[in-house]
Amino acid sequence: MAEKPQSDDAAGEPVVQERTDHEQAHEPSEITYAEYLHPARPRSLRHRARVKSPFARRSVAQDGPATGGNPAYVDWLLSQSMLADANEIARQFSGQGTMWQNPFAAPGPRHAVETASVWFTAYPISLITRSGESFLAALGDEELWKAFAAIGIDGVHTGPVKRAGGIAGWQPTPSVDGHFDRISTQLDPAFGTESEFRAMCGMATWYGGTIIDDVVPGHTGKGADFRLAEMKYGDYPGIYHMVEVEPEDWGHLPDVPHGRDSVNIDTSTEDWLEKAGYIIGRLQRVIFFAEGVKETNWSATRPVVGADGVERRWVYLHYFKDGQPSINWLDPSFAGMRMVMGDALHSLTDLGSGGLRLDANGFLGVEKSTEGMPAWSEGHPLSEAANQLIGSMVRKVGGFTFQELNLTIDDIRITSEAGADLSYDFINRPAYHHAFATGDTEFLRLTLRSSLACGVDPASLVHAMQNHDELTYELVHWASGHKDDVYTYKGEEITGGELAETIRADLVAHLTGPQRPYNLIFTTNGIACTTASVIAAVLGFPTLDAIDDGEDRDRIRRAHLLLAMFNALQPGVFALSGWDLCGMLTLPHEDVAELIEGGDTRWIHRAAHDLMGAAPRIRKSEAGMPRGRSLYGSLPAQLEDETSFVRQLQAILAVRRHYGIATSRQVDIPDVSHKGMLVLVHELDDPGHLQLTVLNFANEHIWGSVRSEALPPGGQVCNMFNDRAVGTVDDLQSFGVELAPHQGMSLLVRPPEPEDEEV
């Protein structure tokens, strides 16, 4: 007879139920195989695959011309190649039992949250370190981890630290996108060494933390792999979406300017190449569109001599900048897939990270559409399949992944069904800024409810404050996938497209312009700003110099804590950066004039900051980023001050941890009695107990009532921060609250006490 586990009895022994031979259909269980087989295995003891020995690097001399006709140059490129490294790394795991010790089919968002629920998101080029100290050494410093542990931070996302940019001849070229144009599995010496990375992972483990690295499955930089692809060496062209153009058609390609290795093609050339059968033509949108710079998603290379002596020109796809050629996930060689998997294995099993961020993972599939229509490039099933492969491989070796996927809520749900364990919260991030900017939470309540209605569990999201990117307001769900759907907003019916335009206009009006020159629009994507500069704009400061270190700073800090409470007091991961912890303001435009002259205004919000107060006199980071103004000071200084941002954040995170809010279940986002109020209702693990996050996004004192069908009449309400009674839930399932401007509360609702039985 076949047997299947059903439940545990009071004695802890599994109850077994027999079933007949004809009852063989699979019945989904409420627990995963991992949870059933290893219900109490401590997280630190869960099996994680490791390489037998650190990956060995080989050194090849540079000799002769940097052309495909020089075997020494080809050998040197191979020594730098990610694909070559991936092939060697994979051999250490093939045929090994270690690859079968972890469940991998289904994402485990709550397991990932339990592993690390509060993340510090670093940005390597902006961290000020001690003289001679590398970025990785600074992140592995024991004093820093003591501070993180005291605050409640148990995860660090390092940001991209591997070599990036490109290769021109024998020489490296700089990154064109903040090190997200990876060209090697090797760490960039500017950030530290592999031994420092491993030491950082060890220090994190000692303090109960986890290091989260990056993998870039959508594109590379123009490194050795791209140069070998241009030479048509081996299966390297299969890594990319690149097409060899016949010499007789070169006249249709634009000339490449002197000193450049490629040039973006215009729409007429794109159209001709599509009709000629070379490429799939225009895509659904042109990210980072700039007239005369990037008008299409395709570029043409200069003539390149291959290892076989043949001169070729190529047209290649790049969703982002021309220095970021897109990876082809469905080439017969599967070279791109092998390269990405090898890079992931190196970070997880050799360096020691416990998780990976999947960068730009929504753009992994393209397909030609009906004539006259743009190519299918977003929400493609191949992206789903590729993400499932990456997520499964990472889980197979004991790690987890999160995706920074700025597409529709539907796309996030679909890619999360078998792909990444967690997703970046692009749904609510612009919405909570809009609520703060306008003092009205209506759109935020709409985004929260839409997420639940679409089946996206808040516990599967990374709720983040400022990161290295702009405040994104593309609102893709409403502007694209649901642009024709009708919503009710401000008492009127409005389409999704019109709603997105309205919200963007509100954000631009409240956060930018001549009255707030310290925040800048970034192309069509969003606004370059810090959390503190957003608050400064809403509070009406005309310049950042007008902010004093007394009452002004306190007002900004109070609002900053409100935004932190929104992100932290709900299920899922809470993430914040050094710019948040230190209260950084945007840089004066003239300090980064050369960096922003091409239109990339994001550099104004990437100010260098001294997290530990290690080098108070240094004015720039090792990478050359200018030091910005910090309103709150270093972590050690803040930990000495009971009123500081960090100390108050510490109290918020202590409540979050004590009551298990990170893994609770969101059950209601009720209507509110004041437009500036937001209420989130969560079920805790403790049966019958609810946690309520009650926030006032308005800059005014408000009195109102909290009402939800989830509230039990007679339930006792108390403040989680001080255990003081707040009130009792009445028969209408409501109770009253009073909130100061930009104040937040975390409330516990206990079930009503049972009435005494009559004797």
Decide the pairing of beta strands 520-522 and 526-528: antiparallel
Q: What is 25-53 written as a DSSP string?
A: S----SS-HHHHHSTT--GGGS-----SS
Does the pLDDT value for residue 597 go beyond 50? yes
Higher pLDDT, 411 or 225: 225
Closest C-alpha to 599, from 531, 530, 521: 521
Tell me how far apart the terminal alpha carbons of the chain are, to the nearest angstrom: 52
Closest C-alpha to 476, from 528, 526, 436: 526
Express each pLDDT in 41-67 by its tens digit.
334 434 566 776 666 777 788 999 999
Helices and strands in the chain, H and E counts: 22, 32
The predicted structure's pLDDT at residue 398? 93
Q: What are φ and ψ of residue 649, in 5° steps?
A: -65, -40
Q: Which residues contact 74 (CB under 8 A, 6 or more apart)?
A: 68, 228, 231, 233, 307
The predicted structure's pLDDT at residue 287? 86
Give the length of the chain: 759
Mean pLDDT calculated for residue range 566-570: 98
Residue 602 DSSP label: G
Does the pLDDT value for residue 135 go beyond 50? yes
| Residue 210, H or E segment | strand 210-215
The predicted structure's pLDDT at residue 512? 98
Mean pLDDT calculated for residue range 228-249: 98
Alpha carbon distance 106, 128 (integer Å): 40
In which residue are the tokens 């996938």 written? 481
Give, in order, the Cα–Cα distances in Å from 480 to each of 311, 414, 445, 475: 42, 16, 20, 8
Alpha carbon distance 702, 122 (integer Å): 37
Helix (H, G, I), strand (E, B) or coil at 605: helix
The predicted structure's pLDDT at residue 92? 87
The predicted structure's pLDDT at residue 156? 98
Closest C-alpha to 347, from 480, 83, 161: 161
Burial of 484 (0-12, 13-18, 19+ CB in 10 A): exposed
Q: What is 265-297 written as a DSSP string?
A: --HHHHHHHHHTTSS----S--TT-BTTTBSSS
The crossing angle, in degrees rounded to 10, of helices 381-396 and 409-416 is 40
The predicted structure's pLDDT at residue 276? 96
Does the pLDDT value for residue 538 go beyond 70? yes
Mean pLDDT calculated for residue range 356-371: 90
Alpha carbon distance 208, 240 (integer Å): 40
Q: Which residues contact 417 (CB under 8 A, 6 or more apart)?
A: 107
Give alpha helix (H) positions in 153-237: 194-206, 224-230
Paired with 299 in beta bridges are: 264, 316
Q: Contact at 8 Å (CB) between 57 and 78?
A: no
Q: Contact at 8 Å (CB) between 682 and 570?
A: yes
Mean pLDDT calculated for residue range 141-158: 97
Burial of 250 (0-12, 13-18, 19+ CB in 10 A): middle
Q: Contact at 8 Å (CB) between 294 and 322?
A: yes
Express each pLDDT in 400-453 by its tens digit.
999 988 889 998 998 888 899 999 999 999 999 999 999 999 999 999 999 999
State CA 370 to chain mean position distance: 33
Helix (H, G, I), strand (E, B) or coil at 675: coil
Helix (H, G, I), strand (E, B) or coil at 123: coil
The predicted structure's pLDDT at residue 19? 36
Mean pLDDT calculated for residue range 345-355: 95
The mean pLDDT value of the chain amounts to 91
Alpha carbon distance 542, 478 (integer Å): 32
Alpha carbon distance 618, 590 (integer Å): 19
pTM over 0.85, yes/no? yes
Write the single-letter amino acid at 100.
Answer: W
**pLDDT band at residue 289, thresholds of 50, 70 and 90?**
confident
Alpha carbon distance 84, 87 (integer Å): 5
Higher pLDDT, 100 or 255: 255
Express each pLDDT in 29-39 by its tens digit.
444 434 444 34
Does the pLDDT value for residue 12 go beyond 70? no
Q: What are φ and ψ of residue 211, in 5° steps?
A: -95, 135
Paired with 358 in beta bridges are: 215, 403
Q: Contact at 8 Å (CB) between 190 and 622?
A: yes
The predicted structure's pLDDT at residue 27? 42
Lowest mean pLDDT among 370-374, 494-498, 517-521, 610-614: 370-374
Helix (H, G, I), strand (E, B) or coil at 531: helix
Q: Which residues contact 529 (CB under 8 A, 6 or more apart)?
A: 470, 471, 511, 518, 519, 520, 537, 586, 605
Three-point CA angle 620, 626, 632, nearest 5°? 95
Cβ neighbour number for residue 617 with a 10 Å cutoff: 7
Give alpha helix (H) positions in 278-400: 335-345, 381-396
Alpha carbon distance 359, 420 (integer Å): 11
The predicted structure's pLDDT at residue 17? 34
Mean pLDDT calculated for residue range 598-605: 93
Alpha carbon distance 320, 525 (integer Å): 13
Mean pLDDT calculated for residue range 615-640: 96
C-alpha dihedral (131, 132, 135, 140), degrees to nearest 10: -90
The predicted structure's pLDDT at residue 55? 66
Inter-residue long-range contacts of 35-38, CB under 8 Å, 24+ positions, other chains counted: 36/5
Mean pLDDT calculated for residue range 572-585: 98
Q: Contact at 8 Å (CB) between 733 and 707?
A: yes
Write the single-letter amino acid at 197.
Answer: F
Q: Contact at 8 Å (CB) between 470 and 522?
A: yes
Alpha carbon distance 654, 635 (integer Å): 17
Q: Which residues contact 576 (CB under 8 A, 6 or more apart)?
A: 119, 120, 121, 464, 465, 466, 564, 567
Q: What are φ and ψ of residue 219, in 5° steps?
A: -165, 170
Burial of 222 (0-12, 13-18, 19+ CB in 10 A): buried
